[in-house]
Structure 1
Amino acid sequence: MSAALSAAHGPSGPSGAVTGGDLRLENLTKHFGSFAAVDDVSLTVPQGSFFALLGASGCGKTTTLRMVSGLEDPTRGRIFLGETEVTDLKPYRRPVNTVFQNYALFPHLDIFENVAFGLRRRGVKDVKGPVERMLDLVELGHLARRKPAQLSGGQQQRVAVARALINQPQVLLLDEPLGALDLKLRRQMQIELKRIQTEVGLTFVHVTHDQEEAMTMADTIAVMNAGRIEQLGSPAELYENPVSTFVANFLGQSNLIAGTVEGKDGDVVVVDAQGQRLTLPAKRSRIDSGRIIAGVRPEKVHLARSEAEIPAGHNVLTGGVVSDASFIGVSTQYLVKMPWGAEAGCGEVAVFEQNTGREIQRPGTPVLLHWDPTQTFGLDGAQDIDAGSGIDDEATA
Structure 2
Amino acid sequence: MTITLSGVSKVFGGFTAVHPLDLTIPEGSFFALLGASGCGKTTTLRMIAGLEEPTDGTIRLGDDDITRLPPHKRPVNTVFQNYALFPHLDVAENVAFGLRRRGISSVRKQVEETLELVELGPLAKRKPRQLSGGQQQRVALARALINRPRVLLLDEPLGALDLKLRRQMQLELKRIQTEVGITFVHVTHDQEEAMTMADTVAVMNRGRVVQLGAPDELYENPRSTFAANFLGTSNLIEAEILAVEGAELRLKAVGADSVLRLPVERCAVEEPRAGGKVLVGVRPEKISLTHAADAEDSDASGTIPEGSNVLTGRIRDAGYLGVSLQYVVDSPVCSEFSVYEPNVERDTRLTRGTEVVLHWRPSHTFALDAAQDAEAGTAEEAL
TM-score range, shorter chain: over 0.9
Instruction: Tell me which residue corresponds to 1:390.
Output: 379
**Alpha-carbon distance in 2 for matches of 1:266, 1:137:** 54
- Whichever residue aligns with residue 126 of structure 1, its letter is S
User: Out of 50, 55, 62, which is 1:75 matched to?
Assistant: 55
Query: Are 2:76 and 1:96 equivalent residues in the alignment?
Result: yes
1:310 aligns with 2:291: no
Which residue of 225, 232, 251 maps to 1:252?
232
Which residue of structure 2 aligns with residue 230 of structure 1? 210
| Deviation of 1:390 (Å) | 2.4
CA RMSD between the two structures: 1.3
Per-residue deviation, residues 13-46 of structure 1 (Å, max 9, x unmatched)? xxxxxxxx30111111000112110001111111
TM-score, with normalisation over the residues of structure 1?
0.91
| Secondary structure, aligned partner of 1:87 | coil
Secondary structure of the residue that 2:126 maps to in structure 1?
coil
Give the one of 321, 325, 332 matched to 2:325: 332
Using the size of structure 2 for normalisation, the TM-score is 0.94
1:173 aligns with 2:166: no
Q: Residue 283 of structure 2 aligns to which amino acid in structure 1?
A: R
Distance in 2 between residues matched to 1:391 and 1:170, nearest whole Å = 40
- Structure 1 residues 391 and 37, CA, compared in 2 at 3 Å: closer, same or farther? farther
Q: Quick one: higher RCO (CA 8 Å, sep 6+), 1 or 2?
A: 1
Pairing of 1:167-246 with structure 2 (within 5 A): 167-246=147-226
Q: Deviations over 1:142-198 (max 9, x none)?
A: 111111111000000000000000001110000000000000000010011111000
What letter is aligned with 2:309? Answer: N
Contact 1:28 1:41 (8 Å CA) reproduced? yes
SS where residue 72 of structure 2 aligns?
helix
Partner of 1:64: 44
Dislocated runs of 4+, deviation >3 Å: none
Residues 1:368 and 2:357 aligned together: yes
Tell me, what secondary structure is at the counterpart of 1:347?
strand
In structure 2, which of residues 12, 17, 21 is the aligned counterpart of residue 32 of structure 1?
12
CA drift of 1:357 comes to: 2.0
Partner secondary structure for residue 379 of structure 2: coil
**Mapped contact 1:250–1:391 kept (Cα < 8 A):** no
Q: 2:267 is matched by which residue type in structure 1?
A: S
Aligned length: 368
Runs (5+) with no aligned partner, structure 2: 296-300
Partners in 2 of 1:32 and 1:187 — Cα distance? 35
Name structure 1 gaps, 5 residues minimum.
1-20, 341-345
> What's 2:112 paired with?
132
In 2, Cα distance between the equivalents of 1:262 and 1:184? 47
1:112 has 2:105 as partner: no
Identity of aligned pairs, percent? 63
State the match for 1:271 in structure 2. 251
Contact kept? 2:51, 2:71, Cα under 8 Å: yes
Q: Tell me which amino acid in the other structure corresponds to 1:130.
A: Q
| Counterparts of 2:82 and 2:287, CA distance in 1 | 41
